Amino acid sequence: MIGIMSENSVIDLLDGQDGANLFSLSKLHLQQACGKEEGSYLYSQLLVQKKRSGYKTHTQDELNAILGQRKKHVDTTNEAPAPEPTFAINGR
């Protein structure tokens, strides 16, 4: 069948990706890469794991704070910013 990938092909496709990259993949992207059925199943499994792990993306306020810090640094020094601030996720 066209659009169906073998288990090894999916593993090869996703090999080397970290959790943040995997969790950011859209259902449509996975369906295009793996076929509709396999992509939908994989997306569903990633959602389950994302929920179980307590993974959360940056909020708009956190992203605005990062961008604000970078803009302020560039405006005052005209240099690349220092390492971005880190935010605790789930109290860690």
Model pLDDT for residues 44-66, shown as the tens digit of each residue:
999 999 889 888 776 777 788 88
pTM summary value: 0.54
Using CA atoms, how far residue 72 sits from 55, 59, 68, 86, in Å, is: 29, 20, 6, 17
Residues 16, 33, 42, 46, Cα dihedral to 10°:
50
Q: Tell me what the pLDDT averaged over the chain comes to.
A: 79
Q: What is the mean pLDDT of residues 35-42?
A: 91
The CATH number, out of the four listed (1.10.150, 1.10.287, 1.20.58, 3.10.20), of the domain defined by the range 7-53: 1.10.150
Of 52, 10, 67, give the one whose Cα is nearest residue 33.
10
Surface-to-core class of residue 60, CB atoms within 10 Å of its CB (0-12 exposed, 13-18 middle, 19+ buried): exposed
